[in-house]
């Protein structure tokens, strides 16, 4: 492992004088593997699991398994996630306990773990726009959401300023800000090499710019959750102070259980939680929740006619598969989606935003028949008439590699599953079985 940067060590000794050596030693220990399970999909626990105290679905693992070779991982039964960041669930439940309908934005969402927490928290009482600023990271974000089966989410690829101009205001905005990544020095040794003395200051300027651009989309009395995976004060407390100094925000104070042994920052109006690697099991993480107290006027925009309601032939084709037709929209390329937002709402977004996935991809109707989308097979919200064909582990892995598998069933479309967990679609045509697992997601790793 690369040594910790000297300038970083000097700053940590100044910033945490009584704990520095314990903290530095902890950063050279092995990280702890952890997962968050999907309560809507069956069986994903491993031997030796131990609960994460601040997340009901979080578990520490005794060792790191080979996730890629586990069909349950591809079925969305669990998601490998850093345990400290799972505290988002507890923060959400602490600050938004009421059954109010919530429109939320996850601004810097890839790879997607926090969007999964938000989607689950909002299930049945809210909708989520999961955005990724960097185009190359959008596909992995969408893959994570699709495999999980999230049905109350749309995916966008936009700059923060685009949301400030799109004519929509959110009740909740999460900014898990790009940062210098000091909290990942143990989990990602290469981040030590990429760090330099100017990293924190450069990132702080970028974080303030991101917040300034996106916060016009947060309604008055709305909630901002700001988080980083770094220890630097300039990227954490100082950013919160800048928001407080504007006069438009106030920190929300939370009662944190003592047994969690977290660092609680409560000074000069700033309230935040800090995970330190020598205090709690997990990597470095900072999180603060603020309420917008200042007025915020809504920008009016004209909807752009991009999405439409499907016609009769489309509705007839999908009804034969037992799919609910409520919430269906048609994209310009003819693809069908079941969206948590109405056509008019999507078109308001489209006036300024690039909507990558407007909801659960249902598929496309060609010559009167529906070619089903992978997301339809995985969705927790889809009520389909078929009974998935069960595969053993060898056949399941063959399917995930895009190989031909042997099944005995009637002609037509069928879902396949491993231990009751759906993996995707096949189409039986006589003696031939066509594998429709997405090519870009196929497993390349061998045993």
**What is the model's pLDDT at position 306?**
96
The domain defined by 386-447 carries CATH number 3.30.1780.10:
no
CATH topology assigned to domain 83-292: Rossmann fold (3.40.50)
Q: What is the mean pLDDT of residues 285-305?
A: 92
Residue 333 binned pLDDT confidence (cut-offs 50, 70, 90) = very high
Residue 178 binned pLDDT confidence (cut-offs 50, 70, 90) = very high
Q: Which of 65-74, 230-239, 313-322 has the lowest mean pLDDT?
A: 313-322
**pLDDT beyond 90 at 174:** yes
Measure the CA–CA gap between 183 and 286, rounded to whole angstroms: 9
**pLDDT beyond 90 at 182:** yes
For the chain, the domains span 83-292, 301-384, 386-447
pLDDT tens, residue by residue, 357-409:
999 999 999 988 899 999 999 997 666 777 899 999 999 999 999 999 999 89
Measure the CA–CA gap between 61 and 81, rounded to whole angstroms: 11
**pLDDT beyond 80 at 104:** yes
The pTM of the full predicted model, rounded to 2 decimals, is: 0.96
Contacts of 355 (CB under 8 A, 6+ apart): 154, 155, 156, 306, 346, 349
**What is the model's pLDDT at position 183?**
95
Share of the chain above pLDDT 90, in %: 83
**What is the model's pLDDT at position 383?**
67
Inter-residue contact 390 to 422 (CB < 8 Å): no
**What is the model's pLDDT at position 382?**
65
Q: Which of 167-176, 288-297, 307-316, 322-331 has the lowest mean pLDDT?
A: 322-331
Burial label, 255 (beta-carbon count in 10 A; 0-12, 13-18, 19+): exposed
Tokens of 192: 């030590």
Measure the CA–CA gap between 146 and 165, rounded to whole angstroms: 28
The length of the chain, given as a count of residues? 447
**Per DSSP, what are the bridge partners of residue 226?**
175, 288
Q: Dmax of the chain from CA atoms?
A: 72
Q: What is the mean pLDDT of the chain?
A: 93
Q: What is the mean pLDDT of residues 63-71?
A: 91
Q: Is 340 or 1 the better-scoring residue by pLDDT?
A: 340
Q: Residue 103 belongs to what H/E stretch?
A: strand 102-106
**What is the model's pLDDT at position 2?**
87
**pLDDT beyond 80 at 99:** no
**What is the model's pLDDT at position 131?**
98
Q: How many CA atoms lie within 13 A of 342 on its CB side?
A: 4
**What is the model's pLDDT at position 49?**
82
**Per DSSP, what are the bridge partners of residue 174?**
106, 225
**pLDDT beyond 70 at 413:** yes
pLDDT tens, residue by residue, 208-261:
999 999 999 999 999 999 999 999 999 999 999 999 999 999 999 999 999 999
Q: What is the rounded end-to-end Cα distance, in angstroms, of the chain? A: 27
Determine the Cα angle at 108 with ends 104 and 113, to 5°: 80
**What is the model's pLDDT at position 258?**
95
**pLDDT beyond 90 at 269:** yes
Question: Which single residue is written with the structure tokens 């090499």?
Answer: 193
**What is the model's pLDDT at position 45?**
67
Residue 300 binned pLDDT confidence (cut-offs 50, 70, 90) = confident
Count of C-beta atoms within a 10 Å radius of residue 265: 18
Residue 312 binned pLDDT confidence (cut-offs 50, 70, 90) = confident
Q: Which of 24-38, 264-278, 305-319, 351-365 has the lowest mean pLDDT?
A: 305-319
pLDDT tens, residue by residue, 28-53:
999 999 999 999 987 766 776 899 99
Tokens of 275: 């995970």
């Amino acid at each position: 492992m690369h040594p910790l940067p000297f300038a970083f060590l000097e700053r940590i000794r100044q910033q945490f004088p009584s704990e520095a050596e314990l903290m530095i030693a902890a950063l050279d220990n092995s990280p702890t593997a952890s997962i968050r399970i999907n309560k809507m999909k069956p069986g994903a626990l491993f031997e030796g699991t131990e609960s994460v105290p601040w997340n009901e679905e979080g578990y520490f693992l005794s060792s790191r398994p080979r996730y890629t070779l586990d069909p349950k991982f591809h079925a969305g039964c669990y998601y490998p996630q850093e345990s400290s960041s799972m505290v988002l669930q507890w923060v959400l439940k602490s600050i938004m306990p009421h059954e109010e309908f919530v429109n939320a934005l996850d601004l810097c969402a890839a790879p997607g773990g926090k969007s999964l927490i938000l989607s689950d928290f909002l299930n049945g009482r809210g909708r989520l726009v999961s955005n990724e600023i960097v185009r190359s990271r959008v596909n992995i974000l969408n893959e994570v959401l699709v495999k999980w089966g999230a049905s109350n989410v749309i995916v966008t690829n936009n700059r923060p300023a685009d949301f400030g101009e799109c004519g929509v205001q959110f009740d909740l905005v999460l900014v898990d800000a790009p940062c210098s990544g000091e909290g990942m020095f143990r989990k990602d040794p290469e981040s030590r090499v990429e760090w330099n003395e100017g990293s924190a200051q450069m990132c702080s300027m970028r974080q303030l710019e991101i917040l300034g651009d996106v916060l016009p989309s947060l309604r008055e009395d709305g909630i901002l959750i700001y988080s980083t995976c770094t220890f630097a004060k300039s990227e954490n407390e100082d950013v919160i102070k800048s928001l407080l100094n504007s006069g438009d925000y106030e920190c929300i104070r939370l009662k944190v259980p003592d047994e969690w042994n977290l660092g609680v920052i409560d000074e000069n109006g700033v309230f935040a939680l800090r995970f330190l690697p020598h205090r709690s099991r997990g990597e470095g993480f900072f999180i603060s929740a603020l309420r917008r107290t200042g007025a915020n006027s809504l920008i009016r925009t004209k909807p752009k006619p991009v999405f439409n309601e499907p016609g009769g032939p489309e509705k007839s084709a999908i009804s034969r598969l037992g799919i609910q037709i409520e919430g269906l929209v048609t994209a310009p390329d003819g693809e069908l989606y079941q969206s948590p937002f109405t056509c008019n709402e999507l078109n308001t977004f489209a006036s300024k935003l690039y909507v990558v996935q407007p909801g659960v991809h249902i598929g496309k109707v060609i010559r009167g028949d529906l070619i089903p989308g992978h997301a339809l097979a995985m969705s927790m919200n889809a009520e389909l008439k078929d009974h998935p064909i069960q595969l053993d582990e060898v056949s399941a892995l063959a399917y995930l590699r895009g190989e031909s598998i042997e099944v005995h069933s009637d002609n037509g479309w069928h879902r396949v599953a491993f231990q009751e967990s759906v993996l995707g679609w096949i189409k039986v045509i006589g003696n031939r079985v066509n594998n429709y697992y997405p090519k870009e997601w196929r497993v390349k790793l061998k045993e």
